[in-house]
Structure formats: C-alpha cells, structure tokens
Amino acid sequence: MHRSRNHRSKDKETNRFYLLPGQGGRLYRKKQKLIIAWSLFGALIVSAIIVVIMYYTDHF
C-alpha cells in the first residue's frame, strides 16, 4: 500500500521544531562559553577562600 503525499507532509510537520532566540547557534555557544568562564572563576575564588579558612584554623 502506498502512503499518500498528504500523509508524508503531515509527518514532516509533526517532526518540525523551531528554536527561539538564544537556543542555538553562534550566540548560544558564546553565552555558554561565558557561563563556563564565570563558573570556573567562581570556583577558584571559593576554593581559595576555603584554603585560607583551613590554613588559619589549622595553624592558629
């Protein structure tokens, strides 16, 4: 049995999706890089604070 052309186009329509602004592409990758950079920076700051606290509690 053959499927009609109309049925095939209906399948394509249900599988179609749209990306909203900021959900993909060059700007999305740039945003992700910025988030990762700030996350690493924050982790380094928190780690340094913990190291200083541990150092002072151990030596004094």
| Residue 13 pLDDT | 65
Which sign does the torsion angle of CA 12, 14, 20, 22 carry?
negative
- Tokens representing residue 38 in the block: 């700030």
Structural domain boundaries in the chain? 24-60
What 3-state DSSP class applies to 8? Answer: helix
Q: Output the pTM of the full model.
A: 0.58
- Phi, psi angle pair for 27, to nearest 5°: -65, -35
Of the pLDDT bands very low, low, confident and very high (cuts 50, 70, 90), residue 33 is very high
Angstrom CA distances, 21 to 24, 36, 50, 53, stand at 7, 20, 39, 43
